[in-house]
Amino acid sequence: MSKKILIRNADAIVTCDQEDRVLYNSDILICGGCIEAVGSKLTTDNAQIIDATGKYVYPGLVNTHHHFFQAFVRNLMTIDRPGLTLMQWLDDIYKVFVRINGDVIFYASAACMADLIKHGCTCSVDHQYCYTPATGKHTVDRQMEAARLMGFRFVAARGTNTLPRWQGSTIPDEMCETTAEYLDDCQRLLALYHDPAPFAMRQIVLAPCQPINCTEDTFIETIRLARSAGVHMHTHLCEGENSSMVRRFGVRSLEWCRRTGFVGSDIWLAHGRETLPEEYPLLAESGMGISHCPAPTMLGGSEILDIPGMRKAGIPISLGVDGCATNDGSNMLDTLRLSYLMQTFLSKQRGGCPSPYDMLKLATAGGADMIGRPELGRLTAGKAADLFMIDTRRLEYAGALHDPASMLAKLGVTSNVWLTMINGRIVYQDDHLTGVDETKLLYEGEQVCTHVLRDTCDAFAPYRHNQ
């Protein structure tokens, strides 16, 4: 018999369903990993009771773009993006990344997952393209190990860089693969980890890093393998590379994708900030979506994605944290807040902006739909029991509890949540990760960071005396 949980007497349940219902003084009945019912005065026998008095309940946030491997360069002021040109920054940061080994991958992934969980994220896509001599082909394997430990719903986007440096890649040759090597490992990972069933905890996506760092055949063969396996695809696009694409191929990035065949509703793009209005029909007609990542846009002083214009054109939008090299954290609530504020900045020029609740839906149902997981991102019967709660009985919320649906983005609730549940299991509650020795993991992760990076990389030299 599946375990039952009854979340009782929540002050508000923000369902993010098609009717945009907010249910007050209501309950959620969960059986196994699935929501059985949502409503008032629910009853059942032999259920674990969670008293949700004073709590607002939300669907788990879905992060559609991240780079876990970058976690150990957070707060590294010797490579400070605002003070460097893009090429300077890339050259400096990859001198660190090329040293990464499997242990760094594991502890960096665990650190990011902990941050995500503590801020209401229950499912994340990680675009993993860090393959070094020290990692071998086992980066995704180490990430899967971390996800199992944390109880996290994880989608591994197996990336690659296949273009040599001398041909224009921004990636060190030591981190490049051949297309054949990449495809072989994709097939291995699909066989080992990909679960196509609803409520799956582990999935694989095929995700060449970006056209300027890959050969054309990498994308063509990705399409062939992904569609034969029935899995989604992902890549970086329109984030500053268009001028290089025009010089190299004579066309902008999206036109290159169209010519290559890398278009379709089974593909979503990271960033997309350089997309021109005249390119919107290509995205809309193909069903290709964009993961909007506000932090790197702000860090680089770049174009602000025209979410109102794209939504009007019918382009799917979701939200992503992006890597820790361009966002020194993995807080999806912070991403939600930044996304809303960024859109308000140009609201008068653009004739309006998304509402705070609109942004929440991009981070929940929008993200779920983009990655082909309609069972996520909503709190209704039949959906996955992925959710989080905030405790409203805090002084800082006095006088602000008018609108639960708008509260996260509008008020800027970016602190740790009260509870996070994934697949019907409580993974975080009352400031404690469940089933995880957080202190031990922290100590081990710091030791790995010191041994692999701080003691060997010039970028960390000013900080060695602190160890």
Q: What pLDDT score does 145 carry? A: 98
With a CB cutoff of 8 Å and minimum separation 6, the contacts of 84 are 92
Query: Can you give the CATH number for the domain in which 183 is found?
Result: 3.20.20.140
291 and 308 fall within a common domain:
yes
Tell me the C-alpha distance between 109 and 70, whole Å. Answer: 9
My answer on whether 414 and 359 are in the same domain is no
Q: How many helices (H) and strands (E) does the chain have?
A: 16, 17
The answer to whether residues 44 and 68 belong to one domain is no
The first and second tokens of residue 35, run together, are 């929501």
Tens-place pLDDT, residues 39-68: 999 999 999 999 999 999 999 999 999 999
Q: Supply the pLDDT for residue 1.
A: 60
| Backbone angle region of 342, left / alpha / beta, with phi > 0 → left and psi within -120 to 50 → alpha | alpha
Answer yes or no: is pLDDT of 265 > 90.
yes
Q: What is the mean pLDDT of residues 234-258?
A: 96
| Alpha-carbon distance values, 305 to 229, 239, 364 (Å) | 32, 10, 19
What confidence tens digit (pLDDT) does each residue in 225-245 have? Answer: 999 999 999 999 999 999 999
Does a structural domain hold residue 130?
yes
Is pLDDT of 249 > 70? yes
143 within domain boundaries? yes
Per-residue pLDDT for 467 more than 60?
no
pLDDT of 112-165, one tens digit each? Answer: 999 999 999 999 999 999 999 999 999 999 999 999 999 999 999 999 999 999
Question: By C-alpha distance, which of 314, 331, 296 is closest to 63?
Answer: 331
- For residue 466, pLDDT over 70 is answered with no
- Count the domains in the chain: 2
Quick: pLDDT tens for 417-456. 999 999 999 999 999 999 999 999 999 999 999 999 999 9
Classify residue 453: in a domain, yes or no. Answer: no
Q: How far is CA 334 from CA 230, 323, 432, in A?
A: 33, 14, 20
Asked if residue 413 is part of any domain, the answer here is yes
In degrees rounded to 5, what are phi and psi of residue 377? 80, 5
Residue labelled with tokens 């290559």: 260
- Is the model's pTM score more than 0.85? yes
In a domain, 378, yes or no: no
Q: What are phi and psi of 142, to 5 degrees?
A: -65, -35
Between CA 304 and CA 288 the distance in angstroms is 19
Q: What percent of the chain has pLDDT over 70?
A: 99
For residues 139 and 254, membership in a common domain is answered with yes
Are the beta carbons of 169 and 120 closer than 8 angstroms?
Answer: no
| Number of other residues whose CB lies within 10 A of the CB of residue 218 | 23
pLDDT at position 136 is 97
240: which residues sit within 8 A by CB, 6+ positions away? 86, 274, 300, 302
On whether residue 461 sits in a domain, the answer given is no
**Residues 13 and 149 occupy one common structural domain:** no
Residue 85 belongs to a domain: yes
147 is in which domain, residue-wise?
61-370
Residue 338 sits in the same domain as residue 195: yes
CA distance 362 to 354: 10
Q: Are residues 75 and 50 in the same domain?
A: no
CATH number at residue 53: 2.30.40.10
pLDDT digits (tens, 9 = 90+) for 73-125: 999 999 988 888 777 888 899 999 999 999 999 999 999 999 999 999 999 99
In this predicted structure, what is the pLDDT of residue 417? 98
